[in-house]
Structure 1
Amino acid sequence: MKISLNWLSSLVNIEDKTPQEIDELLTMSGLEVEGIEEVEEVKGGLKGLVVAEVLTCEQHPNADKLRITTVDIGAEEAVQIVCGAPNVAAGQKVIVATIGTELYPSPTESFKIKKGKIRGEVSMGMICAEDEIGMGQSHDGILVLDTDLANGTPAAKYFNLENDNVLEIGLTPNRVDGSSHYGAARDLKVLLDRPIQQVAKPELLESFKVDNTSATVQVNVHNNEACPRYSGVTISGIEIKESPKWIKQRLTSIGLSPINNVVDITNYVLHELGQPLHAFDLAKVGNEINIKFAEEGQEFITLDEEKRKLKGHDLMIANASENMCIAGVFGGLASGVTESTTSIFLESAYFHPDVVRKTSQGHSIKTDSSFRFERGCDPNMTITALKYAAALIKEYAGGEITSDIVDVYPTPIENFIIDVKFKNVDRLIGQAIPQDRVVEILEGLEISILERTEETIKVSVPPFRVDVQREADIIEEILRIYGFNSVELSDSLSADFLASFPKKDKQILQRKVTEMLAGSGCHEVMTNSLTTSKYTKESSDLNESENVEILNILSADLDVMRQSMMFSGLEVINHNIRRQQKNIRIFEFGKTYHKDENGYTENEHLALFVSGTSTDESWIKKATSSDFHTVSSLVEKIFDRLNIQGISAEYISNDTFAYGLQYSARKKVIATVGLVHPKAAKMTGVKQEVFFADINWTLLVDMYSADYKFKEIPKFPEVRRDLSIVLDKNATFASIKQLAQKTERKLLKKINVFDVYEGKHLAADLKSYSVSFILQDENKTLNEKAIDKVMNNLIKAFETQLKAVIRK
């Protein structure tokens, strides 16, 4: 929401306060200012332009179309200016751009006035045409003024420019009372202890009178709960035209585009008083208005020319035969004010917030009106806003008031009556506040004191403060005006923890990882913890003596508790493959069970299985087979999600894994990832490749850290260098990575292998890794000397410690 300080100052005196001081006052009182923008009516604000007088005007000796003038610009001495305008003459009052002035003839172009010579004659400024200063389109000659203003007077004063500062307020849903300039002024009145103008201009309200009743409209409210109050009046004989300058200035300052005098006045009153209004073309209204719910499925065209299908809960404003407006949300195209409109019905209503909110959300329409109605407007403002707008329309569009004010308000909305104890005020604020000051604050906020004793007060809160309905709310109002900074700190402070430092919640972490894996295309499975003992008998990596045997077995295939998560997962894969589901990504949180000399142990694991293709075949590309990196990338994502630090990896090969990596952190194995050995897969009947990750979930939870470290994104570019490294066939990329990180800790940010080669061009016991190195200095741009130094150190380390050969 935008608040213009010029507009605000017309309601309460803030001329002695800077925008920053107003920002602080409003923010500390609950209307948080998110930014301040300087708004100029004309780009540049006519800075450096002054009213001046041409003293002399003579022909330029070297140019027929130029004149040499001396001009009084209000300085100690007159200045010489060369001018090419045909209408320049001595004795004229003109606008002069002084040396150093930036001119903006259009929003997209500008030029600076400099001291110079034109055809050999010195020129100390520029006599301006109206298009050159952005005050018109004419370029036929210089702008000649009819004014008695002194020479040197800023041009902005002559043109009555109104530069402004606009506050962007992040209005919280509970503070609809602050959704207008009057609402902000109401807080400043109390904060600064200054009077505020009455709601709307008193002279305009006093000028309101009914001229005749020749265009009376009957209003029928069919549901008073949805529309507790509906007010309106007709104005006939108006002329739709451009708004006066001051209204356009007010609206453009807060980002609204002027449309015409009637629509602009309704917008002006909305943003000044916070009461939405709507003007209907009276010719489309006829003599009857009905406020009723729409019929389900009806179609309605709104002002934006969108055809919308109505719901049964949409409250509509209709004439005798058709809908004209979605109540409180958006007007209809057919009944809106146009250039041909000569009479209007002006609406000012209070619609139930729930009704407007439901319709606004249902149609995804957000307007200035719905923003206020769905939070709860002031039901007592409808008549005041109606009279104010009607008087303005009559003043700037002409016409007559041709009906009495219609006001359908069968059940007035009552004030909130609240009992407040002074001791509770002091207790919650933490400081004793004089009772007279409490009363003064509340009355300043238009909260009436009904009764007062030494211990309590009974207050009456007007309905525009929808958020103040309890004693605690009253105390909050007192505190936000009294000032949080005014509450003194005691000499000795103590505090309880708002909450104890939480233990690591295993369930929350499991849910985080589950959501991540599901988002990566994996399906969660749950398998039986009971399995067959043949797996431990046939696998050398499992110890048969550690089997937890079942005493009352129901089946020979379910005679022990599982020692590994792998076989139950392979059984699931086999079940799916046999049903033509060959592309599989599954995971399971589960336990393994072991018997030892001390009894029995349970260990929590996370198992991941990937098999088949990772991408489906399409006309663009062929299917891609899953590989080791498909599952290892998922595992590394889990490490990142849990913020596991200091991870290392080493190559493994055994009866469980044909090949793979074993990840360690803090000298403990946290995960093993690799290709399931064909022998192990065959035990469950699986014949296609399966990649498996066995993660020690208990250790991962223990190592989880919520202490994420953030740093600013580097401003300087990164550099990539590639090396082709030939080394022993058994050497791993992990060894290259670890050595590189050990050799260069500061500038080396990322290492990646993008190609591996084994073949006839290399010896049988060798292979080649193509590796990229990303270098970056966070404080400056790297030069070639620094880059070469890092790369030479890496090459030397690879050659000496890995016995590698760097291919040139």
Structure 2
Amino acid sequence: MKISLNWLSDYLDLKDYSVEKLSDIFTSLGLEVASVDKIETIKGGLNGIVIGHVLTVEKHPNADRLSLTTVDVGRGEPLRIVCGAPNVAAGQKVPVATEGAILYSQSGEPWEIKKGKIRGEISEGMICAEDELGLGESHAGIMVLPEALVPGTLARDYFNVTEDVVFEIELTPNRSDATSHLGVARDLAAYLIVNEGYQGKVQKIDLSHIKKDRNGLSINVVVEDEQACPRYSGLTINGVKIADSPGWLQNRLRAIGVRPINNIVDITNYILHEYGQPLHAFDADQIPGGEIRIKKLAAGTTFVTLDEIERKLTDHDLMICGKNSEGLCIAGVFGGLTSGVTEKTTNIFLESAHFSAKTVRKTSMHHILRTDAAMVFEKGSDPTVTVEALKRAAMLIREIAGGEITSDIVDIYPKEIKPALVQVKYEHINRLIGIEIPLEQLKRIFSALNIHFVEEKEDGAILQIPTDKADVTREADVIEEVLRIYGLNNVPLPEKVTISVSSNDRKENYRVRNHLSEYLTGQSFFETMSLSLNSSKKYLETEVCSKDELVFINNTSNVQLDILRPEMLFSTLENVAYNQNRQQKDLLMFEFGRAYKMIQGEVQEREYLCIFGTGLSQPANWKVKSPEPVDFYLIKSHCTNILSRLNIGMQHFEEKRDNRFEYVLSIFGKEAEIGIIGKVNDPLKSYFGVKQDVYYAQFDFEKLIEAGSNQFIVGEISRFPGTTRDIALILDKKIRYEELEQEAFLVMDKTLKSVDLFDVYENETQFGKEKWSYALSFRFEDVNKTLKDEDIDPQMQRFMDHLEQKFKLKVRK
């Protein structure tokens, strides 16, 4: 939000406060200043431009289209200026850019006026056209000014160039009281009164004289939905003339980034930023039946908004309608195409209402119409200011656009919104702020904030909160208000800070997350962060989850993203598709994220680490001309490394069924399933438009941490050499290598240290159908002696006999 210093100065005397001081105060008040800009109504401020009197005009001896002039600029000796304008003539009063003046091109590029020669003749300045000064777009000739002007008069004074300072404030969603210049002025005044001894108060315009001028056109108003529209005020003004706004009004709006449109629309925008009260001006002659009805229309009703887009209304959209329910405007959000003010408008109906914050936000987010009015209403506008803002707008319209008020003020307010009452205890204020604030100072703060005492007790009070502070409803909110005005910088820091150090055998989540992130990024993985929201349509169409398992949300900003994701794979595939569509086909990625499922009526939230890859495992280079593609075993190796890094013992993999994958293994650690790894199946890839194979692993992060240990067991490195034995087995393809490895450790003694599968060979002619050959390597080692053949051979024979008996396989000789 932008706040103009000139505008604020209409309400408070701020001449004794520097811009830097005010910036610090705003930030202390919770109105964080993001930037401060000095602006001028004309870029450059017309510095170096003066009014000149053309004394003589002669033809340039070396150029047919140039003239030699002498110009009196009030500095004694006239300036010699070469001018190319066809309309220059002796006796004219003109704007002159003197040496050193900075002008700006149409694109905003600065250029300096310098003394020099043009076609051999000296030129000591430039007589300007209006586009060269930023005063218009015409370049047909120089500007000719009134004859009464005195040479040497500063152009900035004649053209009334004004300077302003604009504060860009990062307004938080809870600050309904600071959505306007008056709101910020009240907050600033409270701080200055309490901390700076400021004696003034916020100045306001006297509106007591605003009343009906005569009887004339009036509009009847009917509020059908009092919950969505607790208060509706309006009046009719006849005989207005639509035109451009005066300069001061246009300058005010431009300073805060609002584009002037016409006098009526500009006044409604001015009131919005002055009072924080959105207004809407209707062409009264375009209101069907001369009646306004505030109601909700049937879901699916079409309505064309001011931007010429046809929108389908929902059953929660509040509408401003004509007598027979013709849509005129989306209440508090956006106007309609046919009912707004145009250059032909002569009679207007001015609306000033208080709409439900919840209703406006739903509508604004659903239709993606984030208008200034909507953002004020959704914070909670002040219901008590509708009539005052209406009168202020009517006063400006009469002054600027003419016209007469031809109706009494309509004010439908069936159930008055009472100021909130909050009970506070002084002890709680001092405890939460961390310093004891004297009671008298507390009372000064409350008075400055317009917070009144309803009932005062020895240990506290019941306070009445102004209606513009929609967020102040609890004792903690009141204490926050006190601290804002008292000043957080005035709370002293303690001399010492006491902390306790705890020890825990269990690995802390953030440490594990950082440890694994460092490992994966070191292995060329990129971390991704995906939205936790997804579409139920995707899960139901692919039959990955049932509807009962999905956690639905009311997402008014994007109705397509209507659930919290029940698993991580879909986010992964969306990431892969997004990157592949942008020519990024070789991907190694990981993500820490949460997934949500409905289980037996309860929402279960789990955190996961997922790892995935597709394309080539590394870029091609001079040394590696044909890199290996990402495959199942690459991802599996990283999973194994993760288990080892977290000191997870008893790790193994088992086959499982999962309709998302072509094949998949469960990952076990300490006899608990902690993750999965697999190749995504083709139908699911096609659904997301992914053309390459995708390999995916996922760990349940909590289970991963629980399976890990901080205790590492180390042993002495054997001083004696180890030895190896190799065998080749012919076996059914149904028999998994993992089964053979487990049997080896069961049958042989502790000298067996490792088993490795180093070759798989298929030959249907030699071995038969559904059979293949495994080549296994066994490593033996003893810390007490050198192993001999008589120590190992019996074990190997016992193992081969066991395999032949249990699995009916053959040992290749």
Mark yes or no: TM-score above 0.5: yes
Q: Residue in 1 aligned with 2:169?
A: 169
Say if 1:382 and 1:117 are closer, same or farther in 2 by CA, change over 3 A: same
Asked if 1:314 corresponds to 2:317, the answer is yes
How many aligned residue pairs are there? 598
Measured in 1, the distance between the counterparts of 2:284 and 2:502 equals: 61
Comparing 312-321 with 69-78, greater Cα deviation is found at 69-78
Say if 1:505 and 1:492 are closer, same or farther in 2 by CA, change over 3 A: closer
Q: Residue in 2 aligned with 1:584?
A: 662
Q: Any residues of structure 2 matched to 1:400-799 within 5 Å, and which?
A: 400-452=404-456, 455-494=459-498, 503-505=507-509, 519-520=571-572, 565-566=652-653, 568-569=654-655, 584=662, 586-591=664-669, 602=671, 608-610=677-679, 677=760
In structure 2, what residue type is equivalent to 1:434? P
Measured in 2, the distance between the counterparts of 1:352 and 1:132 equals: 49
Q: Residue in 1 aligned with 2:228?
A: 226
Q: Any residues of structure 2 matched to 1:86-235 within 5 Å, and which?
A: 88=88, 92-107=92-107, 111-146=111-146, 152-193=152-193, 194=198, 195-199=200-204, 201-202=205-206, 205-235=207-237
In structure 2, what residue type is equivalent to 1:311? T
Q: Is the 8 A contact 2:233 2:410 kept in 1?
A: yes
Q: Residue in 2 aligned with 1:46?
A: 46
In structure 1, what residue type is equivalent to 2:323? A
Measured in 2, the distance between the counterparts of 1:136 and 1:67 equals: 24
Q: Deviations over 1:524-582 (max 9, x none)?
A: 9xxxxxxxxxxxxxxxxxxxxxxxxxxxxxxxxxxxxx97744x32x759xx9xxxx9x
Comparing 140-149 with 473-482, greater Cα deviation is found at 140-149
Measured in 2, the distance between the counterparts of 1:499 and 1:394 equals: 74
Q: Residue in 2 aligned with 1:729?
A: none
Q: Residue in 2 aligned with 1:283?
A: 285
SS across alignment from 1:292 = strand
Comparing 487-496 with 21-30, greater Cα deviation is found at 487-496
SS across alignment from 1:166 = strand
Post-superposition offset of 1:72: 4.9
Q: Residue in 1 aligned with 2:354?
A: 350
Post-superposition offset of 1:46: 2.2
Comparing 381-390 with 365-374, greater Cα deviation is found at 365-374
Measured in 1, the distance between the counterparts of 2:727 and 2:679 equals: 19
Say if 1:517 and 1:214 are closer, same or farther in 2 by CA, change over 3 A: closer
CA RMSD of aligned residues (A): 4.5
Asked if 1:383 corresponds to 2:387, the answer is yes
Q: Residue in 2 aligned with 1:775?
A: none
SS across alignment from 2:379 = coil
In structure 2, what residue type is equivalent to 1:191? Y
Equivalent of 2:251 in 236, 239, 249: 249
Say if 1:613 and 1:210 are closer, same or farther in 2 by CA, change over 3 A: closer
Measured in 2, the distance between the counterparts of 1:607 and 1:676 equals: 25
Measured in 2, the distance between the counterparts of 1:422 and 1:476 equals: 13
Equivalent of 1:298 in 284, 297, 301: 301
In structure 2, what residue type is equivalent to 1:335? S
Q: Is the 8 A contact 2:177 2:183 kept in 1?
A: yes
Post-superposition offset of 1:246: 1.7
Say if 1:337 and 1:483 are closer, same or farther in 2 by CA, change over 3 A: same
SS across alignment from 2:229 = coil
Q: Is the 8 A contact 2:763 2:772 kept in 1?
A: no
Q: Is the 8 A contact 2:51 2:93 kept in 1?
A: yes
Say if 1:345 and 1:654 are closer, same or farther in 2 by CA, change over 3 A: farther
Q: Is the 8 A contact 2:651 2:667 kept in 1?
A: no
Asked if 1:332 corresponds to 2:325, the answer is no
Comparing 495-504 with 403-412, greater Cα deviation is found at 495-504
Q: Is the 8 A contact 1:292 1:316 kept in 2?
A: yes
Post-superposition offset of 1:9: 2.3
Say if 1:499 and 1:377 are closer, same or farther in 2 by CA, change over 3 A: farther
Measured in 1, the distance between the counterparts of 2:64 and 2:454 equals: 84
In structure 1, what residue type is equivalent to 2:253? L
Measured in 1, the distance between the counterparts of 2:331 and 2:757 equals: 64
Equivalent of 2:264 in 251, 262, 265: 262
Measured in 1, the distance between the counterparts of 2:680 and 2:343 equals: 70
Say if 1:87 and 1:357 are closer, same or farther in 2 by CA, change over 3 A: closer
Q: List gaps (5 residues or longer) in structure 1.
A: 525-561, 593-601, 643-652, 659-670, 691-808
Say if 1:247 and 1:495 are closer, same or farther in 2 by CA, change over 3 A: farther
Measured in 2, the distance between the counterparts of 1:499 and 1:178 equals: 47
Post-superposition offset of 1:657: 8.6
Measured in 1, the distance between the counterparts of 2:505 and 2:34 equals: 33
Measured in 2, the distance between the counterparts of 1:127 and 1:326 equals: 51
Post-superposition offset of 1:688: 11
Q: Deviations over 1:735-754 (max 9, x none)?
A: xxxxxxxxxxxxxxxxxxxx
Q: Is the 8 A contact 1:210 1:404 kept in 2?
A: yes
Measured in 2, the distance between the counterparts of 1:479 and 1:225 equals: 34
Measured in 2, the distance between the counterparts of 1:26 and 1:119 equals: 57
Q: Is the 8 A contact 1:612 1:688 kept in 2?
A: no
Post-superposition offset of 1:233: 0.6
Q: Is the 8 A contact 1:517 1:634 kept in 2?
A: no
Post-superposition offset of 1:158: 1.7
TM-score of the two chains, using structure 2 as the length reference: 0.64
In structure 1, what residue type is equivalent to 2:492? E
Q: Is the 8 A contact 2:34 2:169 kept in 1?
A: yes
In structure 1, what residue type is equivalent to 2:290? N
Measured in 1, the distance between the counterparts of 2:772 and 2:75 equals: 94
Q: Residue in 1 aligned with 2:807?
A: none
In structure 2, what residue type is equivalent to 1:50? V
Q: List gaps (5 residues or longer) in structure 2.
A: 518-526, 529-565, 577-594, 596-648, 706-725, 729-735, 739-753, 775-813
SS across alignment from 1:232 = strand
Q: Deviations over 1:698-757 (max 9, x none)?
A: xxxxxxxxxxxxxxxxxxxxxxxxxxxxxxxxxxxxxxxxxxxxxxxxxxxxxxxxxxxx
Q: Is the 8 A contact 2:303 2:313 kept in 1?
A: yes
Q: Is the 8 A contact 1:675 1:689 kept in 2?
A: no
Measured in 2, the distance between the counterparts of 1:458 and 1:52 equals: 68
SS across alignment from 2:46 = coil
Q: Deviations over 1:296-315 (max 9, x none)?
A: 22222221222222222222
Post-superposition offset of 1:275: 0.3
Q: Deviations over 1:638-657 (max 9, x none)?
A: 9xx99xxxxxxxxxx99899
Say if 1:409 and 1:673 are closer, same or farther in 2 by CA, change over 3 A: farther
Q: Is the 8 A contact 2:282 2:340 kept in 1?
A: yes
Measured in 2, the distance between the counterparts of 1:82 and 1:8 equals: 45
Measured in 2, the distance between the counterparts of 1:132 and 1:507 equals: 62
Measured in 1, the distance between the counterparts of 2:178 and 2:772 equals: 68
Q: Residue in 2 aligned with 1:34?
A: 34
In structure 2, what residue type is equivalent to 1:468? V
SS across alignment from 1:103 = strand
TM-score of the two chains, using structure 1 as the length reference: 0.65
In structure 2, what residue type is equivalent to 1:474? V
Q: Residue in 1 aligned with 2:275?
A: 273
SS across alignment from 2:462 = strand
Measured in 2, the distance between the counterparts of 1:341 and 1:251 equals: 22
Say if 1:306 and 1:86 are closer, same or farther in 2 by CA, change over 3 A: closer
Say if 1:496 and 1:125 are closer, same or farther in 2 by CA, change over 3 A: farther
Post-superposition offset of 1:180: 0.9
Q: Residue in 2 aligned with 1:9?
A: 9
Post-superposition offset of 1:34: 1.9
Measured in 2, the distance between the counterparts of 1:269 and 1:498 equals: 57
In structure 2, what residue type is equivalent to 1:189? A
